[in-house]
Amino acid sequence: MKTLRLLLAGLALALCVITPAAAAPKKATLGVFLATTLSDGQERFQYAEALAAKLSQAMDRPIAAKSFGRYEDFARAISDGGVDFAVVEGWAAVQLGAKATPLAWASRPGESQQRWAIVSTHKGVVKDLSGKRLALVKGAGPADPKFVTHAVLGGDLDAQRHFKLTPVPNVESALKMLEAKGAEAALVPMSHVPKDKDLRVLFRSSRLPGAVLVDLRNHKESLDSALSSVGAVAPFESFVRIQGKDFEDFRRLVTQGPPRRQPVFADAPELRVDAEVLVRAEELGPSLPSFGGDLAVAAEQPDD
């Protein structure tokens, strides 16, 4: 172990020495892993290429695009350090934890957040699917069931207990799984629910964050400055910077679930000012004109 550490330190030192001497900036890698948000491999590839081109221009450095079709490939690339920054699903960004710094949301036109649906070929309600297979896109490994239970089902149903979760690589395979009767239900974004198929939407989630741009290798500043000039890259609109604690709230929701509902106080109406209490009423009375002129008398004199 010690030898390995020393070797690594040496390599790092060597890199540091060499880097300043390099004439061109090092090529950065943009990873795109959007197994649910984008509909198929082609779209993911095109998006990755287009975004890389735009970023390259904006950051004035060569950027290579890498589109991942499966969670396993993406996870390996991350752990290998082969990706500098990436656009991933929201709950996948949560799973990345401290490794990734979320920077901006990428959303489809018209919806900053998206709803999820449980679709099924069966009739009935979610409760009736107890013990049935739910095709679930593998987007974040261990965080996937938590995302379903906490975020999609709002903590009102434990997905792992209720369903038999069946991982699939992406949204298109989830739907195919349904067709092939490999599962009784599937969890997909509302935007991917096929309208012409004989599928029922049994459940719709509330709106949840979609894709997010994360920095994996300390590019936060250059990315921040580049984002404004990147603009929209189909099928997404321009990136929107993450404000305040938005992402942290989402992270907490996915990891811990929604807070337990507590009884709420009934609010009494706010006390308002009362002018008469603060100001002497008579001082607010009308300012009457003077009637001195009405004391006038005629010039008439008595005479005999």
Partner 1 sequence: MRRTPHTPMRRLVPALALLASLAGPPALAQYRPPPMSESQRLVKEGETAQVSASAASASGNKKEAEEKYRKALGLFEQALAAEPGSVAAAAGVGSSANALQDWARTVDKLKPVQAANPSELSLSYPLGVALFKLRRFPEGVPLLEQVAGADQAEHLIVHYYLASYYLFAQQGDAAVTRLQKYLAMRPAKLSTNDFQVHELLGRAHVLRRDAVAARASFTQAQAGRPESPTVQLGLASVLELEGKPGEARTLLEGVTTRFPQAAEPKEKLARLYLASGDVPRAEAQAVALVKVGATPAAYLLLGDVRLAQKQAPAAEEAYRKVLELQPGLVLGQMAVGKALQAQGRHEEAIQFLEAAVRSGASSVELWASLGSVNRRAGRYQRAVEVHRRVVEMVPRQALGWMLLGADHFATGQWDQAIEDYGNALQVDPAHAGAKQWLARALAHRARDRGGAGRADDAVRDLRRAYDLDRSALMARRLTAALMETRAYADARKVMEQGATLPGATWREQLLLGYARLGAGDAQAALEAFGLAGKQTEEPDQQAEASVGAALAEVELGQVDAAVQRLTEVGPSRTAASVAQANLPRVLVRRALARLEAGDVEGADRDLDAVDKLGTGKRADLTKLALFARGLSRAEAGRHAEASAALKKALTPAQPWAWPNTRALADAFVLYKKGQVAASRKQLTAAAKKPMPGQPKWLASLTGALHRREASLAYASGNMKGAEKALKAALAAEPEDALLQHNQACVDWRKGKASEALATWRRLESTVSVAALNLGIDAQERRHEPAEAVDAWRRYLASGPGPRQAQVREWKERLQSLHGLAEPSGASPAGATVEETTP
Residues that bind partner 1 (CB under 8 A): 115, 117, 124-128, 153-154, 156-157, 190-191, 193, 202-206, 260-268, 270-281, 283-298, 300-304
Q: How far is the CB of 256 from partner 1 (least distance, A)?
A: 16
Tokens of 243: 């404000």
**Could you tell me the CA-to-CA distances from 280 to 271, 272, 273, 276, 287 in Å, in that order?**
20, 17, 14, 6, 15
Nearest to 134 by CA among 157, 115, 154: 157
> Of the two residues 93 and 254, which places its CB atom closer to partner 1 in the complex?
254
Cβ closer to partner 1: 16 or 266?
Answer: 266
CA distances from 53 to 28, 49, 130 (A): 12, 6, 47
Q: Cβ distance 121 to 178 under 8 Å? A: yes
Tokens of 226: 């580049």
User: What is the closest distance, in whole angstroms, from the C-beta atom of residue 24 to partner 1 in the complex?
Assistant: 46
Residue that is written with structure tokens 């900053």 in the block:
112
Shortest Å, Cβ 117 to partner 1 = 8
Closer to partner 1 by Cβ: residue 80 or 267: 267
Q: Is residue 35 a contact partner of residue 47, using CB atoms and an 8 Å limit?
A: no
Nearer to partner 1, 151 or 227 (CB): 151
3-state secondary structure of 269: coil
| Rounded distance between C-alpha atoms, residue 76 and residue 25, angstroms | 25
Closest distance between partner 1 and the C-beta of residue 80, in Å?
A: 38
User: Nearest CA to 52 among 69, 29, 75?
Assistant: 29
The CB-of-42 to partner 1 minimum distance in angstroms stands at 23
Residues 6+ apart with CB under 8 A from 215: 84, 85, 100, 101, 103, 223
Smallest gap from residue 216 Cβ to partner 1 (A): 32
Closest separation in Å from C-beta 202 to partner 1: 7
Q: How far apart are CA 64 and CA 85, in angstroms?
A: 11
